[in-house]
Amino acid sequence: MDQINRDNVIRNAFDAADELDLSRSSYRDTVNSFLKKMIDEDVDSGDVSLIPRQSYESALKAKIIAKSPAVIAGLDETIYFASRHDLQIQSDFKNGDLVKSGDILLRVTGKAAEILTLERSILNILQRLSGIATTTKSYVDTIAGTNTFIVGTRKTLWGLLDKHAIQCGGGLTHRLGLHDAAMLKENHLAVLRNSDNPDALRNAVTQMISAYPYLRFIEIEVSNADEFRAILGYLKNITAPFPFVIMFDHFEPDQIHTLINEAKSKKLYNHILFEASGNITLDTIRSFAESGVDVISVGALTHSVTSADFSLLIESN
């Protein structure tokens, strides 16, 4: 398998771009439910700042400006959200675009009351999701020129919206939930070992393949070289209609490089994809990419990201 074909296998396994689009009813319903809950919690029994009410019934224009450079995400979701509240939004940008400080990201038209009531929710959407996209792009840029992809994890606050923002920054989604790919991590393996069945892992994997042939992948975590060799030997005798993935958890790059070369020497490299994970930072990620892994999963893209800095301003008549 050449690198182009391997890249296609990686994308098919780790990128759910086609599922995270507002044209898909499932994603649209997720966005609508999430954003409705957001505004319902914020407004509750009413926006008490809008007094006297008649002062806020007039139509006006506002703009959202970038106060620092950012990669845009959440734009489609914001426009969809605003349109359901009688606001019109125009933008010269699209998700994935880079904006610089001072750029007008959005122009908003509608009643003053609607704009002011939705202001914080709209900014929250754009700022958090653009923060994720911006952070993701910094990781993607750092490993440019390698054959490795940056992927997210399930350490999200906003679920599928966070996953979509990773895509806007050039990353891949990894699995969307517990339903579309199987990951046998440390605790799963501990349960199987404690079953006292020496074939527990084999039985588990073969039953998964039979029950869920549509999975994106089956991934098994290893924490040392002996576990890697055992899983490598085990997987060589199993076939599936999707890839197997071995995840190196808290390995050093040099050790990963050596073990992947072992897989190549045993003619098993094309049978398996390789992932690195575990406290990998922007400072260390290049060395992991150069180790030969196919993907690097980074929880920090979503669980502790810094939001982008945007502001909404009412325009003068």
- What distance in Å separates the CA atoms of residue 289 and residue 142, rounded to the nearest whole number? 9
Place of tokens 């404690």: 194
- Dihedral Cα 225, 227, 229, 234, nearest 10 deg: -170
User: Once rounded to an integer, what is the mean pLDDT over residues 37-49?
Assistant: 90
Q: Write the CATH number of the domain with boundaries 3-15+138-303.
A: 3.20.20.70
Q: Which residue has the tokens 């998964």?
A: 208
Is the link from the previous residue into 241 a cis peptide, with omega within 30 of 0?
no
Give residue limits of the domains in the chain: 3-15+138-303, 19-133+306-314
- Give me the pLDDT at residue 45, please: 85
Q: How far is CA 250 from the centre of its chain?
A: 21
Q: What is the chain's length?
A: 317
Average pLDDT of the chain? Answer: 94
pLDDT at 1: 74
State pLDDT tens for residues 270-314. 999 999 999 899 999 999 999 999 999 999 999 989 999 999 999
Q: Quick one: average pLDDT of 217-223?
A: 97
Q: What is the pLDDT of residue 198?
A: 86
pTM score of the predicted model: 0.95
User: For residue 220, how far is the Cα from the chain centroid?
Assistant: 20
Q: What are the pLDDT digits (tens) for 49-59?
A: 999 999 899 99
Q: Which residues are 161's β-sheet partners?
A: none
CA distance 161 to 20: 8
| pLDDT one-digit tens code per residue, 241-280 | 999 999 999 999 999 999 999 999 999 999 999 999 998 9
The pLDDT of residue 2 is 84
Query: What number is the average pLDDT over the span 151-164?
Result: 95
How confident is the model over 66-118, as pLDDT tens digits?
999 999 999 999 999 998 889 999 999 999 999 999 999 999 999 999 999 99
Single-letter residue type at 283: D
DSSP of the chain? --HHHHHHHHHHHH--GGGSSTTSHHHHHHHHHHHHHHHHHHHTT--TT--SGGGG-SEEEEEEEESS-EE--SHHHHHHHHHTTT-EEE-S--TT-EE-TT-EEEEEEEEHHHHHHHHHHHHHHHHHHHHHHHHHHHHHHHTTTSS-EEE--S--SSTHHHHHHHHHTT-B---SSSSSSEEE-HHHHHHHHTTT-TTHHHHHHHHHHHH-TT-S-EEEEE-SHHHHHHHHHHHTT---SS-EEEEEES--HHHHHHHHHHHHHTT-GGGEEEEEESS--TTTHHHHHTTT-SEEE-THHHHSPPPP-EEEEEPP-
Is it the case that residue 167 has pLDDT exceeding 80?
yes
- Band (pLDDT 50/70/90 cuts) for residue 134 is very high
Q: List, in order, residues 6 or more apart from 31 with CB less than 8 Å away.
A: 22, 77, 80, 81, 160, 161
| Whole-number Å distance between alpha carbons of 112 and 251 | 55
Distances (CA, A) of 223 to 34, 49, 189, 243: 37, 55, 11, 20
**CATH code 3.40.50.720 for 19-133+306-314:** no
Model pLDDT, residue 135: 98
Residue 279 confidence (pLDDT): 87
How many angstroms separate the CA atoms of 65 and 122, rounded?
Answer: 13
